[in-house]
């Protein structure tokens, strides 16, 4: 890979590993940011990995921009030879597809949409060649997803589906972004799924909602007491379609402090995955649902 | 003994110098949009430079003091009044228990920083008292100040001379048309040479959509993109990229029409290309731009950016010396 290095003003270096999204590009970005962290370079203040790129924020009073640029390029060789595997978590995230709240919101912003006569999920199903929304939901929830970036707003995960390129879903963003999105909406833009961690503006197509909070500044949610943000790059997610009754039950459990997401520790190897995608995913599911 | 908020003004928030270290999770550094003004206001009242104060936009609050304190207002020309009597900006003045601090109409700039001796002593979140409303972090319950709030004050303040003031020549405003210096980069190669030239030739105006997340600009020519097949995952519009990180100060131009300069409460990433970044020395100025202000973007190189940063630091040092 030939990464492109560029300055973001006098305080940032931006490195684009690849223009297009791929797990290979993600792993180079992650390896690079890990290498930068381990190098403990004085003057580096923020290390932000993204899907197929990353960004370093630095204090130019401490390290000269050109010196940091040279140091990053030097680290690229180390990062490229790093093993593309990681110890991570697989998490089951329940999704109530076609829920009433995102439906109300999408109706409110219909004039900003490519297809005002269809819902977001009907539109996404149709342009991706699925003859029913049910088939589309099967595809969306049928194979696991890789958290390839955390950001935009507080703890929002960008997720990339672990299937061959030709099976990947692609949808455009809204023609003009919405000014409102329900908290915990499961969205889709480009080749990425996301969970909106907080209520606010958004341009991704809205498919459903999860009852599982992923950001809690008060840290009252049982599994967010250690830290207010749930997701980390490299986490693997399995969507579990649920209905209204299951959604309501999960919300009640979250409020009672008894909701415990299904989480297992797993090791993910990109080489193994590339050699056998379905087999690797089956193993991941086996680990998630063991016991 | 707290300060009682009688009226809140517009978008008045508690801000300090921010919470770096969490941008990789989508939590921006936040903090005062005009840091020099907040630092100066704090120094005037004997606080640490990084103490929390109030950032008010266009319209100031009305505050009832329940203990004696020193106050200073820096940044925008938002004239303070104590029980209706005018006081100067960039100047320390006392407010006694029972007196009310209010403000006259805005004369220049956009954001005033109100420092009170002791600093506003709300509970820090992730190392900062700065209000980040979208993430419900900092400030009071993670939101802007409201009537009926009480603002706790800290203790252990250095004594300061009454009438201490920042010398006139060190009070820097944005000028008109404001000049924002830009280091091209990031996805600069995505727009045509003509578009690159037009961007710096045209005079832009601050749009109404101008807040802590970002400032939008209008009035320049639409930017044309170099033709390409869009990379997988980016999205169909030529202004789309595979979702990536956004530097503070970076200039994204959705659909090539209206540039948006990201500021302290920026979204940390997304899918729009960026043509370059406003240099660090000019970031404080952006927060003082009112809507409709004409703005010229000026192309600079890294050496100029670093020299400007040095000059900006020298102004701050001169303020420290003047107030020591």
Look up the ipTM and state it.
0.96
Task: With a cut of 80, say whether residue B320 has pLDDT above it.
Answer: yes
CB contact, 8 Å: B133 with chain A? no
Convert the pLDDT of each residue in B71-87 to its tens digit: 999 999 999 999 999 99
Convert the pLDDT of each residue in B122-154 to its tens digit: 999 999 999 999 999 999 999 999 999 999 999
For residues B205-211, give the mean pLDDT. Answer: 95
Nearest to B268 among A14, A152, A173 (CB): A152
Give the pLDDT confidence score for residue B177 in this predicted structure.
Answer: 82
Among the listed residues A103, A182, A154, the one whose alpha carbon sits nearest the alpha carbon of residue B137? A154
For residues B248-254, give the mean pLDDT. Answer: 96
Separation of alpha carbons B254 and A264, rounded Å: 40
Q: Which residue of B has its CA nearest to A45?
A: B21
B271 and A190 in contact by Cβ < 8 A?
Answer: yes
Give the pLDDT confidence score for residue B64 in this predicted structure.
Answer: 98
pLDDT, tens digit only, all 291 positions of chain A: 689 999 999 999 999 999 999 999 999 999 999 999 999 999 999 999 999 999 999 999 999 999 999 999 999 988 877 788 999 999 999 999 999 999 999 999 999 999 999 999 999 999 999 999 999 999 999 999 999 999 999 999 999 999 999 999 999 989 888 999 999 999 999 999 999 999 998 999 999 999 999 999 999 999 999 999 999 999 999 999 999 999 999 999 999 999 999 999 999 999 999 999 999 999 999 999 998
Give the pLDDT confidence score for residue A1 in this predicted structure.
Answer: 65
Q: How far is A10 from chain B (nearest CA, A)?
A: 6
DSSP codes, B159-210: P--TT-B--GGG----TTTEEEEEEE-TTGGGB-HHHHHHHHHSEEEEEEEE
pLDDT band at B204 (very low <50, low <70, confident <90, very high): very high
Give the pLDDT confidence score for residue A276 in this predicted structure.
Answer: 97
Among the listed residues B119, B167, B158, B157, the one whose alpha carbon sits nearest the alpha carbon of residue B14? B119
**pTM more than 0.80:** yes
Q: How many Cα atoms sit within 13 Å of A128 on the Cβ side?
A: 27
Among the listed residues A256, A47, A229, the one whose alpha carbon sits nearest the alpha carbon of residue A156? A229
Convert the pLDDT of each residue in B38-81 to its tens digit: 999 999 999 999 999 999 999 999 999 999 999 999 999 999 99
| Alpha-carbon distances, residue B22 vs A26, A48, A228, B49, B272 (angstroms) | 20, 9, 11, 22, 21
Give the whole-number percent of chain B exceeding pLDDT 90.
94
Convert the pLDDT of each residue in B15-24 to its tens digit: 999 999 999 9
Give the pLDDT confidence score for residue A156 in this predicted structure.
Answer: 97
B274 and A8 in contact by Cβ < 8 A?
Answer: yes
CB contact, 8 Å: B25 with chain A? yes
Chain A residues within an 8 Å CB radius of B243? 50-51, 149, 152, 158, 189-190, 192
Task: With a cut of 80, say whether residue B174 has pLDDT above it.
Answer: no
Task: With a cut of 70, say whether residue B255 has pLDDT above it.
Answer: yes
């Amino acid at each position: 890979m030939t990464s492109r290095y560029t300055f973001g003003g006098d305080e940032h270096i931006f490195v684009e590993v690849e223009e297009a999204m791929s797990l290979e590009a993600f792993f180079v970005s992650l390896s690079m940011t890990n290498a930068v962290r381990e190098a403990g370079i004085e003057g580096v203040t923020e290390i932000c990995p993204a899907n197929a790129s990353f960004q370093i924020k630095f204090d130019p009073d401490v390290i000269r921009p050109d010196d940091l640029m040279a140091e990053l390029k030097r680290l690229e060789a180390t990062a490229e030879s790093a093993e593309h595997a990681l110890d991570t978590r697989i998490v089951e995230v329940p999704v109530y597809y076609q829920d009433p709240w995102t439906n109300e919101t999408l109706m409110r912003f219909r004039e900003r949409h490519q297809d005002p006569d269809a819902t977001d999920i009907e539109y996404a199903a149709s342009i991706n060649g699925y003859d029913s929304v049910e088939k589309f939901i099967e595809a969306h929830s049928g194979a696991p997803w890789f958290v390839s970036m955390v950001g935009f707003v507080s703890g929002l995960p960008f997720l990339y589906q672990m299937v061959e390129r030709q099976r990947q879903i692609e949808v455009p963003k809204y023609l003009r972004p919405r000014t409102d999105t329900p908290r915990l909406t499961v969205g889709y833009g480009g080749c990425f799924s996301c969970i909106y961690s907080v209520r606010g503006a958004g341009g991704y197509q809205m498919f459903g909602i999860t009852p599982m909070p992923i950001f809690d500044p008060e840290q009252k949610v049982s599994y967010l007491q250690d830290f207010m943000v749930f997701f980390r790059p490299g986490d693997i997610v399995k969507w579990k379609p649920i209905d209204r009754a299951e959604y309501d039950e999960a919300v009640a459990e979250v409020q009672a402090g008894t909701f415990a997401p299904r989480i297992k520790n797993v090791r993910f190897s990109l080489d193994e995955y590339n050699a056998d995608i379905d087999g690797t995913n089956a193993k991941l599911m086996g680990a998630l649902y063991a016991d | 003994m707290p300060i009682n908020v009688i009226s809140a003004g517009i978008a008045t928030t508690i801000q300090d110098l921010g919470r770096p270290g969490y941008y990789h999770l989508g939590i921006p550094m936040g903090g005062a949009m005009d840091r020099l003004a907040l630092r100066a206001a704090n120094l005037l009242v004997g606080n640490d430079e990084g103490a929390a104060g109030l950032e008010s936009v266009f319209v100031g609050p009305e505050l009832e003091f329940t203990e004696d304190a020193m106050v200073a207002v820096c940044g925008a020309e938002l004239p303070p009044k104590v029980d209706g009597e005018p006081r100067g900006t960039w100047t320390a003045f006392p407010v006694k228990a029972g007196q009310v601090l209010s403000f006259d109409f805005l004369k220049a700039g956009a954001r005033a920083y109100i420092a009170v001796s002791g600093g506003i002593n709300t509970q820090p979140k992730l190392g900062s008292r700065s209000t980040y409303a979208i993430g419900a972090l900092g400030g009071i319950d993670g939101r802007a100040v409201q009537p009926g709030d009480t603002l706790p004050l800290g203790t252990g303040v250095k004594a300061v001379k009454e009438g201490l003031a920042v010398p006139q020549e060190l009070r820097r405003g944005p000028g008109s048309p404001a000049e924002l210096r830009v280091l091209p980069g990031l996805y600069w190669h995505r727009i045509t040479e003509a578009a690159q030239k037009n961007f710096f030739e045209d005079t832009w105006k601050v749009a109404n959509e101008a807040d802590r997340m970002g400032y939008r600009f209008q009035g320049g020519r639409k930017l044309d993109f170099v033709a390409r097949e869009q990379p997988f995952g980016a999205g169909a519009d030529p202004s789309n990229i595979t979702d990536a990180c956004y530097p503070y100060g970076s200039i994204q131009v959705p659909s090539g029409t209206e540039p948006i300069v990201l500021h302290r409460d920026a979204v940390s990433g997304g899918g729009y290309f960026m043509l370059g970044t406003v240099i660090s020395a000019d970031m404080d100025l952006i927060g003082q731009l009112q809507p409709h202000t004409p703005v010229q973007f000026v192309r600079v190189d890294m050496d100029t950016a670093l020299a400007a940063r040095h000059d900006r630091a020298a102004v701050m040092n001169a303020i420290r010396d003047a107030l020591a």
